[in-house]
Chains A and B, each alone.
Chain A
Amino acid sequence: MKSTGIAATGMATMAPRRFLPSALKSTPYYVLSGAAAIVFLFPLAWAAFASVNGTPGSAQGEGFGPGNYQTLYSWQDGLPTYFLNSTLISCATVVFTLAVSLLGGYAFAKFDFPFRNTIFMVTLAILMVPVATMLIPLLVLLKFLGLQNSLLGLSLVMSMFQLPFATFMMRVSMEGVPKELEEAAQVDGCGTFGVFRRIILPSVRPGIVTVALFAFLAAWNDFITPLILISDSKQEPLALAMTVMREQSIGVIDYGSLEAGVVVMALPCLILFFALQGQYVRGFMSGAIKG
């Protein structure tokens, strides 16, 4: 019962705490968890391998080399164009999201004004409406505003999708700033904006990093929004351009260059992940979701 293979894996998946010490010592636990880790890591490792590996039909004919990346670099409007588009969209989304949610969060956290709760609830209600429902009317609306096929219009829409989470986050973090600090600054002659700039902003830095990270990743990885809103190939972000690359070459798909594109898209996300993993995980662990 105590150390057979089945019991040990059962321990790991069933009554964790009590059996953990023995599960830790057991080989089956390592085999099982190691196998799971390999399943999760294998596709990533394979994509990196396939992007430089020469296969028939890919730009890198045979042997290892940068052929797939070279093809990708000069495909259509060129990789730099798409990379720049993605970067601009993501950065603009971060800026808009932060600007609107910081001011809005300040208002919700520290001021009392008519319709405060209504405005807050309507902002959160954005979460209840599926993105797909909003995109068809937004296509028409952006045209009406003269923002069709523009990176600006795209980032404004993406910022709107970020607003519920960002506003909520900012309100909660700013409500945690002690009133005494504000009053001290007011005595020293700060107006409401001075308090915001000197007291509030420095105190909610972790919240700002979280909101910025989420907004950047969401905008960088968003696919359906540019698919529906952008029809000019010069304005496409990476994810969309790569999908178009695959579609246009049906029959003779250059899978090697496709995987090279995957690597280019994934790299910034993975770098951010490793740089901020602690923050990401801690943000989760200290979150309001308990039990």
Chain B
Amino acid sequence: MAMASSSAPASRYARQGRWWTTRRRSRQLMGLLYVAPTVVFVAVFFIAPLILVARMSASHWTLFRGDLGVNLPDNFGTIAESSLFWPAVVFTIEYTVLATVLLVGMGLGLALLIQSGGKWKGLLRTAFLLPSAMGLASASLLFYGLYSNQIGPINPILESMHLTSSPIQFLEEPLSALWWTTFLIVWRFAGFYMLILLVGLQGIPRDLYEAASIDGANRWATFRFITIPLMRRSLALSLILCITGSMLAFDQFYILTQGGPDNSTVTIVELIYHYAFQSQNLGTAAALSVVLLGILLIVNLVQFGSLRASEDFQ
């Protein structure tokens, strides 16, 4: 009797256990079924191209004739010896520094301008965000007209106000081409960074400012020792997005300057395009793609590393 009563629940548990395993197994199968499209997509359009780009970078591979056999390390040699490569790297870094400083600075300034509610601030926010709704290519085409001598409105306006003696040459000289392209980028993206930084700004507890003012901190001290440190995470996110995005700059320079004047505004991605379609050499373009991937992975590792270090420090 005692034995029977103890064995009945045991077998019931065993049966239930088996039921659980079959149920678990069938749920595993269903899970695999639902994830299958993702796996196929990632395998075909992400993993396969990654393997292919490595294979292409080691091959003589032209746009029209395809794979002509392994030639490692010729493609990388072509890049290193090219008179365009190092200037493109230097220019991309210059542009990245300039764009990042201006964009994050502007984003922070705009966030401070609109940070509390109210009708006027809502209007301002919409105004600053509106360019972010446009595509970068259409924004670049817009500014291509805006900067043109033929219909550009800026020089006529400045002249009618007697502010300039000679018209501004927007894209004719290397340095001004860089600055005016960066101006377009700030116009297009500042609202986006404003939004990210606004999130950080609004997360700062109000009483910290009150405490600081009781302690007699001036405005600069409050900004330096309360606002900036407490916005650390959204500032870091802005920096990471901005640096990574600027390193990959393409649309704006391709459309506004076409790399000119005198190849002074050729970025790394533009050089990939140049190798693939002007030189019709996909092997070299793939090799430069691999180099770009390497550069970006290092930049990301450094960024996340320093982010973690600063978190630990706190």
Contacts and interface: CB of A to CB of B under 8 A. Distances in A.
Given A119-B35, A156-B45, A131 B282 contact: no
B28 A111 contact: yes
Contacts of B112: 12-14, 16
A291 B113 contact: no
Contact of B209 (A17, A40, A112, A129): A17
A63 interface: no
A91 B106 CA distance: 34
B255 interface: yes
Nearest to B200: A291
Contacts of A113: 28-29, 31-32, 35
A100 B247 CA distance: 30
Q: Bin the interface of chain A by size.
A: 35 or more
Nearest to A273: B133
Interface in B101-155: 109-110, 112-116, 118, 120, 123-131, 133-138, 141-146, 148, 150-151, 153
A141 B133 contact: no
Contacts of B305: none
B149 to A, nearest CB: 10
Contact of B150 (A112, A156, A255): A255
Chain B: interface secondary structure? helix
Given A15-B223, A224-B250, A128 B199 contact: no
A127 to B, nearest CB: 9
A19 interface: yes
Most chain B beta-carbon neighbours within 10 Å: one of A15, A116, A281, A287 = A15
Given A258-B145, A281-B195, A290 B133 contact: no
A39 B46 CA distance: 41
Contacts of A289: 196, 199-200, 233-234, 237
Nearest to B33: A107
A65 interface: no
Interface residues of B, number: 109
A16 B290 CA distance: 45
A184 interface: no
B148 to A, nearest CB: 6
A256 B118 CA distance: 38
A147 B30 CA distance: 31
Interface stretch (A76-84, A202-210, A263-271): A263-271
A118 to B, nearest CB: 10
B219 A253 contact: no
A271 to B, nearest CB: 9
Chain A contact residues, majority secondary structure: helix
Contact of B151 (A36, A132, A242, A256): A256
Interface string A240-267: 0011001000000101101101100110
Contacts of B123: 37
Given A103-B37, A108-B35, A130-B296, A136 B286 contact: yes
Given A46-B146, A130-B248, A281-B195, A104 B34 contact: yes
B236 to A, nearest CB: 10
B85 interface: no
Interface in A11-52: 11-20, 24, 30, 32-33, 36-37, 39-41, 43-44, 46-47, 50
A287 B138 contact: no
Interface in B33-62: 33-35, 37-39, 41-42, 44-50, 52-53, 56, 61
A15 B227 contact: yes
Contact of A272 (B114, B133, B196, B292): B133
B110 to A, nearest CB: 7
Given A136-B289, A239-B135, A262-B138, A43 B151 contact: no
Interface of B: 24, 27-35, 37-39, 41-42, 44-50, 52-53, 56, 61, 66, 109-110, 112-116, 118, 120, 123-131, 133-138, 141-146, 148, 150-151, 153, 187, 190-191, 195-196, 198-204, 206, 209-210, 213, 219-220, 222-223, 227, 230-234, 237, 247-248, 250-251, 254-255, 269, 272-273, 276-277, 282, 285-286, 289-290, 292-293, 296-297, 300
22 contacts: A14-B219, A24-B118, A46-B153, A50-B151, A100-B38, A103-B35, A104-B38, A106-B34, A110-B31, A112-B28, A114-B28, A129-B46, A130-B289, A133-B289, A134-B46, A136-B56, A136-B272, A159-B41, A222-B135, A223-B137, A287-B199, A291-B234
Sorted nearest first, the 10 A-B pairs with minimum C-beta distance are A221-B135, A111-B31, A104-B38, A223-B137, A113-B31, A107-B34, A273-B133, A107-B35, A137-B52, A137-B49
Given A100-B38, A100-B41, A103-B34, 10 more contacts: A14-B220, A16-B201, A44-B131, A113-B32, A114-B28, A132-B248, A136-B282, A224-B269, A281-B195, A289-B199
